[in-house]
Structure 1
Amino acid sequence: MQPTKSQTLWMYEMMVVSRRFEEAIEKIYLEGKTPAFNMANGPIPGEMHLSNGQEPVAVGVCAHLDASDAVTATHRPHHQAIAKGVDLRKMAAEIFGKSTGLSGGRGGHMHLFDPAVNFSCSGIIGESCGPACGVGLSRKLQNKPGVAVAFLGEGAANQGAFHEALNLAGVWKLPVVFVIEDNSWGISVPKSAATSVARNDVRAAGYGMPGHYIPGNDPYAIFDVAGEAIARARAGDGPTLIEVETYRLAGHFMGDAEQYRPAGEKDALFAKDPIPKMRARLMADGHATEDEIVGLEKRADERVADAIAFARESKPAADTDALTAVFA
């Protein structure tokens, strides 16, 4: 299964929006945090996890979804949220802790919720898996269309919640696709030191579902495999596990010195940056001229600038909001 011209252009544009958004967030996040780094300072306090380099996973999967399908995502969620269609203005405002944010500024960047497009994420490792099963079970019991996609990192595949969710999804043949973004590092621990198998797709057999491994961070290959898995879920044939080799171009979080990376690893990863690679392929395949691509990139820049300006200009969440929407 290969994407159409319109799908490839959408995929590329969403990748660029995600990258430009994170470049803007990265710059603003550092305001007030130098010369001595203190994550409590500046207009964006708290931790910040960037997904630059992992954009192909989000677009390759979400190209097959619509607003009625659900995505449950991770603590590194920006690329997934953008590909799923989360309101960019409200998302930016949430990250800034503003009253106009998705959750009124209460959740921050690791807890983005947009019911309009059925998107949610969590800072808890592996937390995407259980809710995705819940969505899948709900759809199945109500005989409603729609699938759920749970994104997680390779480190989360060692959590009990992951294995419990795969078991239930397999037993009940739920319309769920589990997508592992393997960026090789669980914070500062290499996958080889924490996981008993070289590839997590082999674990699918233990839960009665197909498993697929996609090397090379290739958006076209991801589109192909994800399309098959999502079609299988829609047909009532049950879940699928996919692991994708991807690359984290930034640290685990902003402020991470990344001293654990071997010498030369970052340079090698930037040489494989998926955005210029896809840009070149679009032109080589005749899917876009340079002028068309420049137009897409300009539109992405404008969207991001608009969202950041909206967030900057919005009113902060009121102090009293900390006491609302809280379960007693």
Structure 2
Amino acid sequence: MNDSAKYEKIFKKQIQITEEKIQSVFTGIKPSSLYEPCAYIINGGGKRLRPFLVIISAKAAGSSFNKARNAALAVELLHNFTLAHDDIMDNADKRRGRPTAHIKYDENTAILAGDNLLAYAYKYLLNDCKDNDKQVISEITRGLIEVCEGQALDKEFETRKDVSIEEYKVMIYKKTAALAESCCAIGALIAGADVKVKKALSSFGKNIGMAFQIQDDLLDISADEAEFGKMLGGDLMEGKKTYLFLKALEKAEGSDRVDLLKVIENKGIKKSEIKKYKKIYEKLGVFEDAQKEILEYTKKAISGLKVISSIEDKNQLIWLANYLIKRSK
């Protein structure tokens, strides 16, 4: 078995352990009117990347995967709390191929279930807190505040015509990267890491979070549709100001710029127009621009890992960073 296969096997095994724990969280708890929707939300699948960031950070900081299992579950509960509420705000009908919670049940039930997921996140986090509980709770709270601010900026951008790439980066840091940063910091704190190691792991989480979101933007328009699992061009159809769209707008002239401004004016495009806009992106070279950004953030993530003493754990983190930028969905 080569090193890449070895690290992938470890990753998949730890994700499976996390998945089994997630599936059992709300089993057999009453009232079912609350806990059935909670289970529905949390059991909807997903990459389970954030829990892995917690446990691999704990291990890389000198502890073990098992030391931070409850904290790992906590961040996944918190993440799903944000998704349940985002879906209501975005009027989303589906998530991961299933009806969203507010469609399957109703809006009030989904809000309450989301609130309960947040409460359970703190409950499980406290199970792994010891002497440094204030720092750990402070870190997850900071991550949650950043996510809320990021969602607010994302909604604000929908009606703005002058969003810059730097503003976009602030938004994706808050909405995506800050929680990944917190995941790594929490794992490090639970393991009792020193300041240098915690800082390195936090930086790793932040930078792969940034790379992850820009990769998401890229895949939405350039992925293989069969592998991606959903229709391409959704961001353009919704008029979202992604990295690719903003970079294209920055570079475009003449008729291309006119067409891009129409996306803002019309708050999106028709399905039949996706190919046209993909060609504009290709002509302007924004796919390559996005790939450069993704690679730059990945390099930043890896460069800080010199302080990690375990070669195996360092290599697992490097594998993860490279695995994420090669994903197809």
TM-score by length of 2: 0.32
Greater share of residues in strand: 1
Report 1 or 2 for greater relative contact order, CA contacts < 8 Å, sequence distance ≥ 6: 1
TM-score by length of 1: 0.32
Greater share of residues in helix: 2
